[in-house]
């Protein structure tokens, strides 16, 4: 807010004041920036649908609508195995994974701001599918023999 004063050259001088409100509108001049050059994560092939794999983090130096982001998977999502929560950037499992069919994925994730025109950036996400140990634990031997003395502390 500015206050403007005007006065005349009369004697006595008369003056008047006015308040001026200045609204500065943000120009959409910054692309979204990811907080890492790339992202990497591992996930078990037995993970259930909807399991979170990783969160893609990005910021935009603009303000308001120009800084609000929308995340999407641009490429590499073979078989639509993954989905992404568009406002939070959380990468989720969308289809059952099979390490023998696809041991790893290289996704390209796009962050686009909501400015006009929209600006965007992309980042690579490497996801390694790991084998879950489905076998129950078992002892090496069926029987074990242990000798203890009566007054011995464990």
* Fold type of domain 33-130: Immunoglobulin-like (2.60.40)
Helices (H) and strands (E) in the chain, counts: 0, 11
pLDDT tens digit sequence for 121-141: 999 999 999 997 666 677 888
Write down the domain spans for the chain: 33-130
**pLDDT, averaged across the chain:** 92
Give residue 1's pLDDT: 83
* pLDDT above 90 coverage of the chain, percent: 73
From start to end of the chain, where are the E strands? 2-7, 15-20, 33-34, 38-44, 52-55, 58-59, 69-75, 82-84, 90-93, 104-113, 120-130
pLDDT, tens digit (0-9, with 9 covering 90-100), for 78-134: 999 999 999 999 999 999 999 999 999 999 999 999 999 999 999 999 999 999 766
Q: Could you read off the pLDDT of 14-57 as tens digits, one per residue? A: 999 999 998 888 899 999 999 999 999 999 999 999 999 999 99
Q: What's this model's pTM, rounded to 2 decimal places?
A: 0.74
141: CB partners within 8 A, 6+ apart: none
DSSP 114: S
């Amino acid at each position: 807010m500015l206050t403007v004063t005007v006065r005349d050259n009369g004697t006595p001088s008369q003056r008047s004041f006015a308040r001026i409100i200045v609204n500065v509108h943000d120009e959409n001049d910054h692309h979204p920036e990811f907080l890492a050059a790339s992202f990497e994560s591992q996930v078990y092939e037995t993970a259930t649908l909807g399991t979170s794999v990783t969160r893609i983090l990005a910021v935009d130096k603009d303000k308001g609508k120009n800084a609000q982001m929308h995340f999407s998977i641009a490429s590499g999502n073979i078989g639509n195995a993954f989905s992404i929560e568009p406002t939070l950037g959380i990468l989720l499992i969308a289809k059952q994974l099979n390490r023998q069919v696809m041991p790893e994925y290289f996704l390209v994730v796009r962050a686009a701001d909501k400015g006009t025109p929209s600006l965007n950036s992309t980042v690579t996400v490497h996801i390694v599918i790991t084998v879950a140990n489905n076998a129950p634990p078992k002892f090496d031997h069926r029987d074990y023999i242990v000798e203890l003395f009566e007054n011995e502390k464990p």
